[in-house]
Amino acid sequence: MRFLLWILFLFFSKNVFTQVHRCHAEDYASLILKDADRIHTYQNRIAHVEQTLTNTASSRSEEEPFIIPVAIHFQGLKDFDPDCLTILSNRQIEILNQHFKGSHQDTQQWTHDAPLFPHAELGRTNITFVLATKNHPQGYQLSDEEPAITFNQVRGNFSDDWKNYLNIFVRQSDYLGLSPYGGTGDGDGIFISLDAFGSGEGCGEVEPLAPFELGKTLVHEVGHYFFLQHIWGERGCEHDDGVFDTPISSGPHYDCPDGYIRKCTVINMHFNFMDYVDDACMYMFTEGQARRMERYIKHNLSNLTENAQRVCELKPIQAGCDRPANLQTIPEDDGTITLQWDSVEEATHYQLQYKATENKHWKSLLLLKNQYNIETATYGKSYEWRVRIQCGNSLSEWSEKQVITGEQSTPTTLRERNFFLAAHPNPFNEQLTISGKYSDHLDDIFVNVYVYNYRGELVKFQYEKLAYGYNYFEVLIDTSDLGNGFYFVLCEYGEVKKVTKVFRSDTW
């Protein structure tokens, strides 16, 4: 039992900070301001930039493209696959370009949300991110045509060797992401955690984890690098974020809010990239944010755009692969389902998406092989999937959607899959409520609830007896004697065990 709990602890501790802390741009500034020699310079630069980027509408006077050369630095990896990480890096660059150009399918949601924000428009920038592929700095064993990706060769959040690039430093940390408020391109850059970089299955230690598994942490942090504040402006209703078409808000939103939220007398734009919601629920910049970022690049990051001509190979778009053919859905004896399609010799990788039919958002995976085994299909539920192929720098069209019917999955692990566990409020303070629901009616059983601190020590235990025929429980735990920090809740319900993570805060 102790061994099982320790394994669960190690697994869930990889992303314990994601629920509460998405970003710490303000901490980056705080670190600068601790250095007395840099305070005056930093404050003058910010004041000058703010004066340049006035809080008024600004239309494009010219359709000038802004090419941003990118270098990615993986740090502290013990065992890694360079080819896999290169694919993952290319996918992250693709995500940046889609969302900064407003071309991702998620932006279709704006049609539904737009009537509530009459003064805002969907932002589409003319910014393109390109992995540098030539004239690399010396000493990194990178030849021309190889992407600017380093492995355990760069330390920290700064490198003199990599001036005039947008540097992305990827390593394990308590932060999901960290960026300067207004980057300079002087060797600085953005830090991203191993479990928030890219999307899909990941590569060993670099594994994007829910709910930040869609690569949007970097979209948020690049917004800071291009001089966007959080949408609430850091100081609530009395302080604006400097963008004319974003509504006032008193603070961040978390998870995936149900419906619309009203703060500071207005409906909040919680789905904006500069808020804190889960990846699946953020999808846009506004036009004002897009213009602010472009003006910042034009007046403050010309060193990056000029360097792009020297270090980036801006290749014409190649003819794409044909759309995938011969798609098959194959039920396996162990209750899983294999998705398969014809292999393509020219393919660099495949992009697979699948979801429950009733869901709006797809789960995306990057694959080197032309098949994938789904282990999480629930018996009696309907799913959809589709695939497309990457050939060189071009993507094929999506395949036709395929449907997995409920009868194609088997109830091998139905008992575990149909148990739903929730902890609320989260963050919590004096009390914590643990509730659960099981899809079947069970005989008389006890529900055991264990609470462990971040060291794996048991700090609370409580049980509840359910009457015959009940499939729902709610356990109230007194947490007034617990200190602030992260905890793990293990719930035993009959033969089924589930774990969730929670955060205690006196200020919540």
pLDDT digits (tens, 9 = 90+) for 209-245: 989 999 999 999 999 999 999 998 876 787 888 898 9
pLDDT for the residue numbered 410:
40
User: What is the pLDDT at residue 468?
Assistant: 44
Query: What residues does 299 pair with on adjacent strands?
Result: none
pLDDT for 21 equals 54
Q: Nearest CA to 276 among 293, 259, 251? A: 251
What count of residues does the chain have? 508
**Residue ranges of domains in the chain, CATH in brackets:** 19-227+286-311 (3.40.390.10), 328-408 (2.60.40.10), 414-504 (2.60.40.1930)
Q: Tell whether the torsion through CA atoms of 6, 8, 10 and 13 is positive or negative.
A: negative
d(CA 223, CA 212): 16
Return the closest-CA partner of residue 368 out of 22, 24, 90: 90
Cβ distance 353 to 338 under 8 Å? no
DSSP state of 97: H
Dihedral class, residue 241 (left if φ above 0, else alpha if ψ from -120 to 50, else beta): alpha
**Cα separation of 105 and 155, whole Å?**
36
If we measure between CA atoms, which residue out of 137, 136, 179 comes closest to residue 296?
179
CB atoms within 10 A of CB 480: 8
In terms of Cα–Cα distance, which of 391, 393, 390, 386 is closest to 372?
386
pLDDT of residue 423: 84
The pTM of the full predicted model, rounded to 2 decimals, is 0.63
Phi/psi of residue 113, each to 5°? -85, -25
Residue 301 token pair: 């990051």
**Residue 397 backbone zone (phi > 0: left; psi -120 to 50: alpha; other: beta):** beta
Sign of the torsion formed by the C-alpha atoms of 89, 221, 156 and 20? negative
Please give the biggest Cα pair distance in the chain. 73
Contact present, 432 and 25 (Cβ < 8 Å): no
Q: Give DSSP secondary structure letters for 272-291.
A: BTTS---GGG--B-BHHHHH
* Residue numbers in the chain where pLDDT is lower than 70: 1-47, 51-63, 235, 315-320, 334-335, 360-361, 364, 375-380, 392-394, 405-419, 438-445, 454-455, 465-471, 493-496, 507-508
Instruction: Name the nearest CA neighbour of 21 among 226, 196, 270, 264.
Output: 196
CA gap 5, 11 in Å, rounded? 10
